[in-house]
Amino acid sequence: MPVVVPIEATADQLAQVKYNADGLVAAIVQEHRSGAVLMMAWMNAETLAETLETGRTVFWSRSRQERWRKGDSSGDRQWVKAAYYDCDGDALLFVVEQEGAGACHTGEWSCFFRPFGSASGSGGYAGSAGRPPAASEAGSG
């Protein structure tokens, strides 16, 4: 299991986060080794605080109107390595170590596996692109 590292955000930093009319802010999740964008979800102030305190991503489900911690049912947990807020404060970025089969509920590594237009030449995230190599595939040096 990865080492959990809580992130100690200051009150001033948290005050910079701008929530929409529903009390939510967009949260983008990026895999720390490959840089692949894995998913986008929503957070409220409580799930943001829990994510920073526990080192695991926790989101707000708009469809179910409830908190959900990524991986509790699927095993595909996300361990936060770093957290950022953008220049306007209206989007968050979490750099994570992705465990399990990936971030997408469809079974894909990334939720961004469906390109517009032709997939060739897109540099794409199609299928398992962006997935870090398995230990058996990784070079030794």
Q: In the structure encoding, which two tokens stand for residue 15, read together?
A: 């005050």
Check residue 126 and give its pLDDT. Answer: 44
Cβ atoms within 10 A of the Cβ of 81, count? 18
User: Residue 17 has what pLDDT?
Assistant: 98
Instruction: Check: CB of residue 32 under 8 Å from CB of residue 81.
Output: yes
Q: What is the pLDDT of residue 135?
A: 41
For residue range 84-135, list pLDDT tens digits in order: 999 999 999 999 999 999 999 999 999 999 999 986 554 544 445 556 544 4
pTM of the entire predicted model: 0.85
Instruction: Enumerate residues 6+ apart whose C-beta is below 8 A from 91.
Output: 25, 26, 27, 28, 85
Phi-psi region of 101 (alpha: psi -120 to 50; beta: other; left: phi over 0): alpha
